[in-house]
Amino acid sequence: MTARRDPPAGVPPGSAAQMLTYVYAVTPDVPPPVPGPVLTGVAGRPVGFLRLPGSGPVAFAVSTVPASKWNEHALRAHFEDLEWLQDTARAHHRVVESLAARTTVLPMRMATLYDSRARALEALAGQAETFAVQLARLSGRTEYGVKIYMSPVADAPAPADTDTGPGRAYLQARRVRQRTLQEHYGQAQVAADRIAEAGRRWADGHACHPVQSGPLTAGTAEENVLNDAYLVAVDRAAQFRAAVEDAARHLPGVRLEVTGPWAPYSFAAPSTPPPEP
């Protein structure tokens, strides 16, 4: 892919003694413990919190993981392994979601790792103010995913007029096909416009994701034509959902899928433009 790097010096291969600090998310504070089994994260490791001395404004949700399995070389190999990727992504997501149920979270991209707790604390201290600002922006809001799926276009019926020659029949069939397609995808446009309207009315943020059509989403005949995310205040979520779910009304070729609430993954990066007033 790019230039290979040597494994970090001082980390003997297979050493279980050396532990790294894996960060899941930033939270505004340490949520009070709740009864029940201890939350586990990546590699089945328990989840704890790192906070700044003197109770700073933000905390990291972390696990310690063995360096031998999480150094750069190991990660590079793991990222090619879909099974590992799936387990780790789901574990990361489980932790973020559990936290999001109780407090505001700023989710980290998967595989954010520090050499030690001290190094993680340094990073936390260095960006505490930025994190606090972003957490305030996301407070009381969750993310919803909205997708539009189109059913496959039905083949146009053969033209009834058999008096026409083969050339004319071909052109006629082509015109019918084109009109069918236009009508078909016109429905998607109507649904998309209604969703955008619902977003303007009820949401505080909007992000467009690429439509899903890769190997992971193959196996359905439906075509994904829109894959967006909206940031919605918790107390407006019901109205937003209702408005979005209504967007496919009287559009027989359209299926809507609303997912969430998600932790605000799509709105965590500071580059996200501020919500419209």
Map the footprint of other proteins across residues 18-57, applying CB under 8 A. Answer: 20, 23, 26, 30-31, 33-39, 46-51
Candidates 81-89, 149-157, 178-186, 242-250 — which segment interacts with other proteins by CB under 8 A? 81-89
15 binds other proteins (CB under 8 A): no
Tokens found for residue 58: 């933000």
Is residue 242 close enough to count as binding other proteins by CB under 8 A? no
* C-alpha to C-alpha distance for 141 and 144, rounded to whole angstroms: 10
Tokens 């039905």 appear where?
154
Contact 247, 191 (CB under 8 A): yes
Binding region for other proteins (CB under 8 A) out of 64-72, 153-161, 194-202, 244-252: 64-72
Kindly state whether residue 86 participates in binding other proteins, applying the rule CB under 8 A.
yes
- Selected range binding other proteins among 149-157, 174-182, 187-195, 209-217, rule: CB under 8 A: 209-217
Q: Which residues contact 61 (CB under 8 A, 6 or more apart)?
A: 23, 24, 25, 26, 27, 47, 48, 49, 95, 99, 105
Which of these ranges, 94-102, 171-179, 182-190, 194-202, lies near other proteins under the rule CB under 8 A?
94-102
Residue among 19, 58, 68, 92 that touches other proteins (CB under 8 A) = 92
Nearer to other proteins, 160 or 218 (CB): 218
Residues constituting the chain: 277
Site for other proteins in 252-271 (CB under 8 A): 259-262, 265-266, 268-270
- Burial zone of 259 (CB within 10 Å; 0-12 exposed, 13-18 middle, 19+ buried): exposed
Exposure of 24 by Cβ count < 10 A (0-12 exposed, 13-18 middle, 19+ buried)? buried
**Considering the rule CB under 8 A, would residue 13 count as an interface residue with other proteins?**
no
Q: Could you tell me the smallest distance in angstroms from the CB atom of residue 247 to other proteins? A: 19
Work out whether 211 is an interface residue with other proteins (CB under 8 A): yes
- Residue 98, both tokens: 């559990």
